[in-house]
Amino acid sequence: MNIPRLALLTTLPLLLLPPLSQAALPIPLGPLPHCTRSATLMHCNDGQGGFYGMAIQGNDLHLRGHDGQTGLGWAQTSTRFGRLLLLSGISSDGTVWFGFGRRMGWNVMNRLSTSAGDRIRLSCNRLKGCD
């Protein structure tokens, strides 16, 4: 699987959170990145050579980043339709991915497919994080 891990970990937990106007509990995913943000923009460095930026426009989330561990650059767009999140992305090695996540209470069921034929299922919980 060539999807940068940072791309998955920055997008999928967003399904667990309510809209920005509501308070939400942080989700522990390991060492916290150093981030600078405004109301609709955020830029983060993970301390391991990786960085990413986010821009929110309505129900759309645009991500761009660099995975410090693999050296891959990537871009991803996610669109929320109620409890459903559709996402698609591409990395600098040419890998393309498409997926969706469905929120059910405090749980999110995620399914992703890549251009390499990989299929990924990931289950996330607001308190336990992702499996």
Domains of the chain with bracketed CATH:
5-17+33-130 (2.40.128)
pLDDT tens-place string over residues 37-76: 888 999 999 888 899 999 999 999 999 999 888 899 999 9
pLDDT tens-place string over residues 81-92: 998 999 999 999
Q: For the residues of the chain, what is the DSSP string, one character each? A: --S-HHHHHHHGGGGGS--TTS-------SSPPEEEE-SSEEEEE-SSS-EEEEEEETTEEEEEEE-TTT--EEEEEEEEETTEEEEEEEETTS-EEEEEEEEETTEEEEEEEETTS-EEEEEEETTTEE-
Q: What is the pTM of this model?
A: 0.69
